Amino acid sequence: MQATQIIHAYKQAPWRVQRQYVGAFLLTVIVLALVAALYLDVTARTALAGREIQDLQVQITTMQRTNADLETELANLTASAVMQRRALELGYRPVEPGELDYVFVPGYVAPEPAILLAAADSTLRSDSLPEAYSQSLLEWLDEKVNFAGGIQ
């Protein structure tokens, strides 16, 4: 009898236990919902970024084509025959050897052929990015599970 009294004295009321279960359940649901929302947000942002990358790649290709077209167009406009014709139209004429004066410039070194070295391509290569920047949460989990399985 005394023992039963002690147990009753320390045992929680049933509604308290139920409330704890409900609380734990709700907490789990809230945590899962937060993780899901976070994952959804990250995935959506990744997809948007991926789409932007695709768009940028298309833009790069278009710009490269435009650049090539403009270079060729510029070369067409400054072709040797075109420049000669324009020079003649502007009243210039070919120089005669006797009309040239040479001036001695101490220390002057004739320029080497001008080379058209384009700026080094500093584009970030995809293989230089850590996987964490391109991996989804599921892919990461999948990799970890497979990796663990591999160890076993």
Residues of this chain that bind other proteins (CB under 8 A): 43, 46-51, 53-54, 57, 64-66, 68-69, 71-76, 78-81, 84, 95, 97, 100, 102, 104, 106, 110, 113-121, 123, 125-126, 129, 134, 136
Rounded to a whole number of angstroms, the minimum distance from the CB of residue 23 to other proteins is 20
Task: Indicate the residue among 6 and 79 with the shorter CB distance to other proteins.
Answer: 79
Rounded to a whole number of angstroms, the minimum distance from the CB of residue 150 to other proteins is 21
117: left (phi over 0), alpha (psi -120 to 50) or beta: beta
Task: Indicate the residue among 6 and 70 with the shorter CB distance to other proteins.
Answer: 70
Is the C-alpha dihedral spanning 93, 97, 103, 109 positive or negative?
Answer: positive
Phi, psi of 76, deg, nearest 5: -65, -40
115: left (phi over 0), alpha (psi -120 to 50) or beta: beta
Rounded to a whole number of angstroms, the minimum distance from the CB of residue 123 to other proteins is 7
